[in-house]
Amino acid sequence: EKLTDGRYDKLSFDKGFDSQAHFSGDAVSRNVLSLSDGTVDEIYFSLRLAMCDLILGGDDPCPIILDDALSNFDDERCKEALDLLAVLSETRQIILFSCHSREARFLDGRDGVNVIYG
């Protein structure tokens, strides 16, 4: 829900990873394949984060390392994802590699964020 700025509030996956997204306010879920590419990227990004939380959680969660995970996001989706990563970074280290400079611009001045240019 946070990642999609409230547009979608629930996801479900069956054993074959066929997925349904529930649009906030709608009575019916939609198959993910019927959604835009950007929304599908958001959904699978949120699935990866949820799996990390389930599998790699616990009292001392290990870092999450992401490599160009936001490269296909438009600017608004990128900002939402970075806001979510900032919240997650309160309980675990997040390392984000990117070949783009926009992530550094969006995170500029945030406490606890270190940007290293290579």
pLDDT in tens, 43-83: 889 888 988 888 987 888 899 999 999 988 999 999 999 99
pTM (predicted TM-score): 0.82
pLDDT of res. 102: 92
Residue pair 82/73 in contact (Cβ under 8 Å)? The answer is no
Q: Where is average pLDDT lowest: 24-28, 74-78, 86-90?
A: 24-28
Total Cβ atoms within 10 A of residue 70: 23
pLDDT of res. 39: 82
**Tokens at 7, concatenated:** 């547009």
pLDDT value at 118 more than 80: no
